[in-house]
A = this chain, B = another copy of it.
Amino acid sequence: MELLTASIITIGDELLIGQVIDTNSAWMAQQLNLAGISVSRRVAVGDEWNAIWTALDQEMERADIVLITGGLGPTADDITKPLLCEYFGGKLVTDPGVLAHVTNLFENVYKRPMIERNARQAEVPDVARVLHNANGTAPGMWFEKNNKVVVSLPGVPHEMKGLMTGEVIPQLLKQFNPPIILHRTLLTAGIGESFLAERINQFEINLPSFIKLAYLPSYGMVRLRLSASGYDKKNIEDIINEQFILLQEQVADVLVTNKDESMDQLVANLLLKYGQTLSTAESCTGGYIAQLLTAAAGSSRYYLGSIVSYANQVKKELLKVSEKTLESVGAVSEETAVQMVKGALASLKTNYAIATSGIMGPGGGSEEKPVGTVWVAVGNNSEIITRKFNFRFDRRRNIELTATNALNLLRIFIISQSSGKN
């Protein structure tokens, strides 16, 4: 079966000197996959005429659809628009609809005078179909050549996203009739990638050829993903579901979830299910767990807040960790973590609380407590459980690992506390 394929080209010198992390491509790839369009390559090039031209040539040769982001801003390092104009043999003309939109944005939304440079955003190649950018001044542009579609989008994430959802995906679905791509993802914890692979080796060998298995290590856990594609939706859905059940049986004892959801979503769903609330007392994670939970809209229904007690003084005064404990066993200890949970439960008045205390590095380690030593405690007013971790990574990753594993410990605790209530 011939899959409908897309390439994504991102343009910008900032990508090549590493000043910016490309988050657009990942999001675009997700949306395309959901629409049944398989992304075969992603390419990043600089703001340079030949590099962009070559990338366009190469990607058009291989893919049915080429999506370009970036290189459309109002400043002089942006050369994408004239290039596309020449590439597709058109000339730049002012689009009255875009001009009216840009003028309106400056007059009524930005409330700033519009200058010549802004007005030029309304110039588009006369061989392009204009895609309306509700969130900004640079329009999307749709080109066709040799039965291939090339779409140019601004690089500003929310502008690109609005155009993808509102214009690009619907128009691609209309023009092509893509096969269905289905994914089934589960998460395991407590088993290494190699051991997991040994265990499900025979399962993998027996998979139908149109189903692929991928291992995705994720914060010390392993995600497994089955992917299948085809035109007969009912048929591939039946087969992938059947295989997914087999896979779940193979990993039943280490299964965390059979959905493609993050640890914070899992915890959020449990709290919502039981109508319970959570607070955190964070030392080494420094608010990372709080921002992870509050990144979800509606999180105020189950997450009330955090005391980020980075300094010991804050642990003592706001969480009532005893001076004696801090002096005798130190802040990175089981006792401190337990007292932090108690302090959070008392002052934030929630059903559950999570506490973290550890040494994230690169400095601050000792022989007894090397960098990566972390105590996590989770509990409610009747019980508190603790766990010690020894992470071996850099600061950033140690923080992420602590957060994910603390949430996992709470997940296990909530389930154990709620068993029989369901």
Contact = CB atoms under 8 A, between A and B. Distances in A.
Chain A interface size, as a band, is 35 or more
Nearest to A183: B17
A291 B288 contact: yes
Interface string A281-316: 010011111110111011110011111111101100
Contacts of A246: none
Contacts of A20: 26, 216
A143 B39 CA distance: 29
Q: How many copies does the complex hold?
A: 2
A394 B134 CA distance: 13
Nearest to A308: B306
B30 A17 contact: yes
Given A18-B30, A75-B197, A291 B299 contact: no
A173 B73 CA distance: 36
Contact of A308 (B43, B204, B305): B305
Interface in A1-43: 13-23, 25-31, 33, 38-43
Given A25-B44, A158-B397, A285-B291, A194 B118 contact: yes
Candidate in A31, A46, A362 with the most chain B CB atoms within 10 angstroms: A46
Given A18-B29, A216-B20, A305-B310, A287 B297 contact: no
A282 B3 CA distance: 48
10 contacts: A16-B41, A16-B42, A18-B39, A22-B22, A42-B43, A77-B212, A77-B215, A117-B194, A118-B194, A286-B291
